[in-house]
Every structure is written in structure tokens, then in C-alpha cells.
């Protein structure tokens, strides 16, 4: 919560910011959040789905709860948010939804069957929803980041980081701003004719 308040404080320098906590795996909590948004602001212009967790393990050793936890947070949570957001945007006849996937959802990764399945599901769900709501002037896209410098990747051993870096043509890890820039573009009018797409942000890692 402290980090949320800190981020809200930084964002507030350029506009009004309201920070709230929502468990996206709880459909009722998602409903309450969007009720607050529509009651307070009377409209919903853009939603960015970025919640996600990992529970890495080889599939033959993966526990049931590790599979279910990741699918629930990474895929079910986005479904609950997209479903509610789309209903509001359909009534408005406009809106934009951006779902954060991963290149792991496109190519898989050892020890991440649960994570890769959830991120692949996000890409497929994005394409399906984009087709369903395009007639209401609603755009739905996905972003697939590669090796980004985050709390999650900082936990990796140095030898694994060095191995991954060797496979990135731009020869550096991405930073959160690299992903944020694409999200900002997709949310803007500059992307008004783009929907159902997955934009890869990986420094050329998968080209």
C-alpha cells in the first residue's frame, strides 16, 4: 500500500489521482471498483490490465495450487476486469483496453508452464474481445514485454541474467518506461485504428 501511495503521489503532479486496492481475482471486488469509477467520474476511457504473479517450477513438479494461483491472478483476473470494463464502454460507445501479456506467452519457457499458459490466454482473449466490441468503437490490444528490469527479474541469479542478455540484440534489459511508452501510445488517438494486436517490447529478443 505504501508503494501505491508513493506512485499515486508522483502521478498526482500531472493530474488528479485516486489510488485504490482491488483483488482482481474477486469478481465482487472488481464490480465494486468499477462502480466507484462510474459513480465518481461517470465514464471509463481506458483500462490497463497489468496484475500478474509467478510460481515457477518444472511442470512435472508443479503443485496444483501453483498452477491455479497463477491462472487465477494472471488470466481469470483480467477476464473479470475486461468483462466489467467492456460492459461500461459498450454503453459509452467508446473505450480502450490494454492487457499486459509477455513474450513467454508466445514462446513458452522452462519452468513456467503456468505463467506461459496464462499469458498466452491473455493474447487469445484480447483478440476475441477486440472482435466482439469493435463495432462499439472500443479497441482492445495486448503488450508482450520481454526481459524488463522489475522486482520480479531482479530476483534471478546473475548467470541467468547474463545468459538472457546475450540473446537481446539491443544488448540491454528493458525498463518499465519502454513498456509504459507503448501503453501510452495504444491508449492515445495515435492508435485509433489499431485493435486486436499484440505489440512485442523485447529489444529484438524474439525477432
Q: Cite the active site residues.
A: 115
Asked if residue 185 lies in contact with residue 143, where contact means CB atoms within 8 angstroms, the answer is no
Give the number of other CB atoms < 10 A from CB of residue 74. 27
Q: Which DSSP string corresponds to 165-204? A: HHT-TT-S-B-HHHHHHHHHHHHSGGGTT--S-EEEESTT
DSSP 84-122: HHHHHHHHHT-EEEEEE--THHHH--TTBHHHHHHHHHH
84, 31 in Cβ contact below 8 A?
yes
What is the C-alpha end-to-end distance of the chain, expressed in Å?
A: 38
Amino acid at each position: 500500500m505504501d508503494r501505491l501511495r508513493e506512485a499515486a503521489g508522483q502521478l498526482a503532479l500531472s493530474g488528479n489521482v485516486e489510488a485504490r486496492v482491488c483483488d482482481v481475482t474477486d469478481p465482487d471486488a472488481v464490480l465494486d471498483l468499477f462502480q466507484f469509477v462510474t459513480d465518481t467520474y461517470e465514464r471509463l476511457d481506458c483500462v490497463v490490465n497489468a496484475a500478474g504473479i509467478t510460481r515457477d517450477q518444472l511442470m512435472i513438479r508443479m503443485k496444483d495450487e501453483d498452477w491455479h494461483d497463477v491462472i487465477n491472478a494472471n488470466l481469470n483476473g483480467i477476464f473479470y476486469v475486461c468483462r466489467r470494463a467492456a460492459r461500461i464502454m459498450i454503453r459509452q460507445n467508446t473505450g480502450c483496453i490494454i492487457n499486459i501479456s509477455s513474450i513467454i506467452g508466445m514462446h513458452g519457457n522452462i519452468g513456467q508452464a503456468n505463467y506461459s499458459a496464462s499469458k498466452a490466454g491473455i493474447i487469445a482473449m484480447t483478440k476475441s474481445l477486440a472482435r466482439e466490441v469493435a463495432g462499439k468503437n472500443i479497441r482492445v490490444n495486448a503488450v508482450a514485454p520481454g526481459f524488463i528490469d522489475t522486482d520480479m527479474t531482479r530476483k534471478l541469479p546473475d548467470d541467468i541474467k547474463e545468459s538472457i542478455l546475450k540473446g537481446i540484440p539491443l544488448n540491454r534489459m528493458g525498463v518499465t518506461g519502454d513498456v509504459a511508452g507503448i501503453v501510452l501510445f495504444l491508449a492515445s488517438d495515435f492508435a485509433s485504428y489499431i485493435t486486436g494486436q499484440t505489440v512485442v517490447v523485447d529489444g529484438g529478443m524474439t525477432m
